Amino acid sequence: MRTTAVDYWHWLLVIEMFLGGIAGACFFAGALADLASKGKYRKLAKIGSYCVLPLVVVTLIFLLLDLPPSRRFYFWHFMMIFKPLSSMNQGVWLLSLFTLIGGVIVPAIYLAEDKGILPFLKGKEGLRKALSIIGIILSVGVMGYSGVILADKAVPLWSTSLFLPATWIAVSVVSGIALIRLILALSAEKDKEADSMLAKALKLALIVAAVAIAIFLFTSGDAASVLISGSYAILFWLGVVVIGIVAPIVLDAAGKDMATVVSVLTLIGVFLYKWIILYGGQV
């Protein structure tokens, strides 16, 4: 237990980890759907990749706000060094490279197709596929690094188990699928078939996340008690388990057209999970 806890890291970091995770995950989910279906769900890859840059920009704004005012604009110090064994430095480079590929170049290829801008990129299918695969790999890094930043600390809840980054990637994937589904549900042209595919993928991702969280809790020893029965137990059981995992699966299984509600509930669950891990570690 940390004897003299000071909440240096707080809700701003939760927002950064949440949005950064979605940025990686929506590219991941969209590009995978497109590649696996051999282009049938290209639309999902477009939605996913268009989301990356705005999400990264918002994440960076929160990151700047999170730094002390006097040091805010020295953030480039992070980029003056390549330190592969510092998880925060890994994150800087993973996010930079991912944003360049998944947030700028790949969306530019789609924009060339949709809007006719940058026509020299139009029809570069080989390039698009190659970059999509690289982007998927980088996106996993982007989803994972903030979990590793927590996991390599001297904070029992974050570091006892080897599986915190695993849960981080798993819940981020959930949030990415949920965001694409939400955008699809809110867009003018409904696509029932794509939604049902996303619903299947979401259910699978939720099960993976639930298993990862269970393994994480089992391997955390006493440190997990703050989530299971301690001061964050209500948020965990009600917020993460019921609202974020069980309710979305049940509602989708009920067969009603609940894409919007399910997506929102899932996103709330993922946000709360990252929230209780950050704060629960500092009790």
Partner 1 sequence: MAYGLLIDTSRCTGCRGCQVACKAWNQLPAEKTEFTGSIENPPANSGETWLRVTYHEVSNGSGGVKWLFGQNRCMHCLEPSCAAVCAAGAIKKLDNGAIRIDQEVCIGCKNCHYACPFFGGVPRFREELSEDENDLIDKGLMGGKRVTGTVYKCWMCQDRIENGLETACATACSVRAIQFGEREELLAKAEERVATLQVVGETKAAVYNPKGVGGTGTIFILTDDPEAYGLPEDPQVSTANMVTKWLTGLITAGVLTIVPFWMVFKAAEAKGKGGK
Site residues, partner 1 (CB under 8 A): 2-6, 8-9, 29, 32-33, 36-38, 40-41, 67-71, 74-75, 77-78, 80-81, 83, 85-89, 91-92, 140, 143-144, 147-149, 151-155, 159, 162-170, 173, 193, 197, 200-201, 204-205, 208, 211-212
Could you tell me the CA-to-CA distances from 225 to 156, 217, 276, 277 in Å, in that order?
11, 9, 12, 12
Nearer to partner 1, 112 or 138 (CB): 138
Q: How far is the CB of 115 from partner 1 (least distance, A)?
A: 26
Nearer to partner 1, 86 or 225 (CB): 86
Q: How far is the CB of 201 from partner 1 (least distance, A)?
A: 5
**Is residue 211 a contact partner of residue 62, using CB atoms and an 8 Å limit?**
no
End-to-end CA distance of the chain: 8
Question: Which amino acid is present at 73?
Answer: F
Q: How far apart are CA 237 and CA 264, in angstroms?
A: 18
Nearer to partner 1, 56 or 197 (CB): 197
Nearer to partner 1, 183 or 207 (CB): 207
**Residue carrying structure tokens 């991941």:** 28
Token pair recorded at residue 242:
């019921």
Q: How far is the CB of 239 from partner 1 (least distance, A)?
A: 22
Nearer to partner 1, 78 or 237 (CB): 78
**Element counts in the chain: helices (H) and strands (E):** 12, 0
Q: How far apart are CA 171 and CA 143, in angstroms?
A: 9
Q: How far is the CB of 153 from partner 1 (least distance, A)?
A: 4
Nearer to partner 1, 127 or 211 (CB): 211
Q: How far apart are CA 150 and CA 158, in angstroms?
A: 6
**Is residue 160 a contact partner of residue 280, using CB atoms and an 8 Å limit?**
no
**Is residue 183 a contact partner of residue 57, using CB atoms and an 8 Å limit?**
no
Q: How far is the CB of 198 from partner 1 (least distance, A)?
A: 9
**Is residue 141 a contact partner of residue 90, using CB atoms and an 8 Å limit?**
yes
Nearer to partner 1, 163 or 271 (CB): 163
Nearer to partner 1, 51 or 194 (CB): 194
Q: How far is the CB of 82 from partner 1 (least distance, A)?
A: 9
Q: How far is the CB of 68 from partner 1 (least distance, A)?
A: 3
**Is residue 126 a contact partner of residue 138, using CB atoms and an 8 Å limit?**
no
Q: How far is the CB of 204 from partner 1 (least distance, A)?
A: 5
Q: How many CA atoms lie within 13 A of 108 on its CB side?
A: 14
Q: What is the dihedral of CA 255, 257, 261, 264, to 10 degrees?
A: 90
